[in-house]
Amino acid sequence: MKKWICIICGYIYDEALGMPDHGIAAGTSFESLPDDWTCPECGSPKESFEPYVG
Amino acid sequence: MSTSSATEGRVEIDGRIFNPYSKDFIRSPWATWEKMVLEYPVAWHKDLNMWVVSSHDACTEMLKNNLFTPSYKAWEHAPPEKPEAEKNDFERSLDHGLFATRTQDHLRLRKLALPAFSKPVMGKIDAKIRDLVTGVFDEIGEPEQFDAFSMIAEKLPVRAIARMVGVPTNKEAFFHEFAVSVIKSTRINLPLKERQAAIQASLPGFAYFREVIAQRRAAAHPGDDFVGNLIGASEGDDRLGDYDIMAMIQAVIVAGSDTATDLHTYAIQGLLGNPEQYRLLRQRPELMENAIIELLRVGAFGKTPQFRFATQDIEFRGQQIRKGQSILLNLTAAWVDPQKWDRPRQLDITRRLDGNLVFGAGAHFCIGTYLVRVQGSLMIGELMKRFPNAELVNGNGDVEYDYNHHNARRINRLLVRSNVRPAQDRFIPESTVETSH
C-alpha cells in the first residue's frame, strides 16, 4: 500500500486508510480513484499528486 | 437582471450594488454579499472596470481553472516590462513569485517549497514563536479591558514572521520597516509615487536577505529553519534560486504579517462574540484547527480578496470574458454563500468544512495554511488560558475599522473586557489558609 502527496498543499492520501468519510474504502489504490477526484484539502487534481516516501 | 448592457448579454453592476470601499459595506457587508451570490454571481462592474465573481461554485470553478492567472503581467493594463538589467531586487523577486510564474515553473516552485511550509516544519515554528505569544500577553497583563488590535493583532504577526525567517532580535525594527515597505509597494490603491517610494525603501531589506542566503549557501549546512529548508530544497539537480527564495520571503511577509493581523482580531471577535462557542473550544481543544478555519470563514474580513486575469478569451458561466480583463474573486462573499453553507453566518466550530475556500483552492491554494493554524492556535490557546471569561466591551468590542486598508475590512480597535479577578480577590483554597481555630 502506497502513500501519495499533493505537491500543492502537502495532503497525504494513504491507500491503506482510504477516505471512509468520503466514501472511499480503506485499501483503495490511488490509481483507481476516479479521474475527476480532487485533493480534499486544496481541490487540486490527481496530477498534482506524486508518490510519497516519508 | 442587467442594470444596463453595454455588451449584449453581459450582466453588469455598479457601485450602487457593490462598493467595497464604502464605510457601510466595510462595517456590514452581509446583505451586499448575499445579493451578489444570489443575483449577480458573475458580473461586470462598470465602476471598478473588472469582472466580479462571488458565488461559492463560480469562485471554486475559477480558482481551479489555470486559464485565469494571478499574474498581473497578463492584465491588459499592466505596465510595459523593463529590460532585465534595469530591474531592481523587488522587481526580480516579484517576477519569481508564485503568482507571476508560468504553470510549469509554478508547480516546480510549489514542489520545492513544500517541505519548508509543511506541517512538521511549521510545528517547529510553534516552538520558535511560543515565547513571542506569551510575551505579548505578558505585556497586556491583567487590565480591566484592553484593545485586541493594538495589544495582539498589530504586534504578533510581524514579530512571528521575523522570527520565522530568522531575523535576529536586534534587527527587528529594520525588518518591520522592510515588511511595511513590501506591503505598501503592493497596495494598488496607493498613488504610484507612494508605491515607488515604498519599493525603494524595501531594497535594503532585499539586500540583507541576499546576504543571508549567500552566507547560508556557503555554510556546511544551510540550517533546518524556514530559510534553511528553502535553500536545502532540491529535486535532483534542481534547486531554488536566490530570487525564488526572496520571493517566498516577500510573500510570507505580506501574507504572514498583513493578513495574519486580521486573523487575530476576527478570531477574537468571533469567539468572544459567541460565548458558547468559546466555552466549547475550551472544553474541546482538539477542535482548534477546525475552529480557526470556521472563524476565518464567518469573519470574512476580505474586502477585495484576490484577483485573476484572463489569459485568453473565454466563456465563463454564460459570460464572455476577454483576454487581459481582470476579475475580482469575491471569495469572502463565497465563504458565506447560503447555497453552500447552512446558516452561513452562524459560527459553529464543529461544522464540517469540506470544500471551503478559506485558503482558496487549486494551484494557488494558500501555501501558508499551516503557519496560519500554528499562529492562530498559539494565540487562541493563550487567550483561553489567561482570559477564560473575557467578553467584548458593549457586546461588539466598540469595534472600529481602517477604511483605507488596501484589501481587508481591517479592524483597528476591538475592546475586550478581561473579567480577570484582581489577585487579592481570588479564591484561595481552605487547605492553604492557616486559621486560628
pLDDT attached to residue B1: 39
Which residue of chain B is at minimal alpha-carbon distance from A45?
B362
Mean of the per-residue pLDDT values for chain B? Answer: 88
Residue window 41-100, chain B: list those with CB within 8 Å of chain A: 60, 63-64
Residues of chain B neighbouring A37 (CB-CB closer than 8 A): none
| Residue A39 domain-assigned (yes or no) | no
Residues of chain A neighbouring B63 (CB-CB closer than 8 A): 43
Q: Is the pLDDT of residue B185 over 90?
A: no
Residue span of the structural domain in which A22 resides: 1-33
The candidate with the shortest Cα–Cα distance to B303, out of B65, B27, B12, B14, is B27
For B157-179, write each residue's pLDDT tens digit: 888 888 877 777 778 788 878 88
| Residue A48 domain-assigned (yes or no) | no
| B243 burial type by CB count under 10 A (0-12 exposed, 13-18 middle, 19+ buried) | buried
| Residue A1 domain-assigned (yes or no) | yes
* B167/B163 Cα distance (integer angstroms): 6
| Residue A51 domain-assigned (yes or no) | no
CA B66 to chain centre: 22
For B224-259, write each residue's pLDDT tens digit: 788 888 888 877 788 889 999 998 888 887 777 788
* B341/B335 Cα distance (integer angstroms): 8
pLDDT attached to residue B124: 77
**How large is the average pLDDT for residues B46-69?**
95
Cell (9 digits) for B192: 504610484
**How large is the average pLDDT for residues B35-39?**
98
Interface check for A16 against chain B (CB to CB < 8 A): the answer is: no
For B95-121, write each residue's pLDDT tens digit: 888 887 777 778 888 888 887 777 777
Pair B28, B336: CB distance under 8 Å: no
Q: What is the pTM of this model?
A: 0.89
For B372-413, write each residue's pLDDT tens digit: 888 899 999 999 999 999 999 999 999 999 998 878 999 999
pLDDT band at B434; cut points 50, 70, 90: very low
**How large is the average pLDDT for residues B202-219?**
92
Percent share of chain B, pLDDT over 70: 94
For B317-340, write each residue's pLDDT tens digit: 999 999 999 999 999 999 999 999
Pair B375, B156: CB distance under 8 Å: yes
Pair B402, B127: CB distance under 8 Å: no
Pair B350, B343: CB distance under 8 Å: no
pLDDT attached to residue B136: 95
Does B107 sit within 8 Å of A7, measured CB to CB? yes
pLDDT attached to residue B164: 79
- DSSP letters of B204-238? HHHHHHHHHHHHHHHSSS--SSHHHHHHH-EETTE
Interface check for B365 against chain A (CB to CB < 8 A): the answer is: yes
Q: For chain B, list the domains and their CATH numbers.
A: 12-432 (1.10.630.10)
* B418/B109 Cα distance (integer angstroms): 45
The total number of structural domains in chain A stands at 1
pLDDT band at B72; cut points 50, 70, 90: confident
φ, ψ (nearest 5 deg) of residue B304? -130, 75
Does A43 sit within 8 Å of B359, measured CB to CB? no
Closest CA–CA distance from residue A45 to any residue of chain B (Å): 8
Residue B82 is given by DSSP the state P
Q: Kindly calculate the radius of gyration of chain B based on its CA atoms and give it in whole angstroms.
A: 23
pLDDT attached to residue B435: 43
CB-nearest to A44 from B60, B362, B370 is B362
CATH number of domain containing A17: 2.20.28.10
| Residue A40 domain-assigned (yes or no) | no
| Residue A11 domain-assigned (yes or no) | yes
Pair B301, B29: CB distance under 8 Å: no
- DSSP letters of B56-75? HHHHHHHHT-TTEE--GGGS
Residue with the bigger pLDDT between B180 and B210: it is: B210
* Residue B42 zone, left/alpha/beta (φ > 0; ψ -120 to 50; rest): beta
| Residue A38 domain-assigned (yes or no) | no
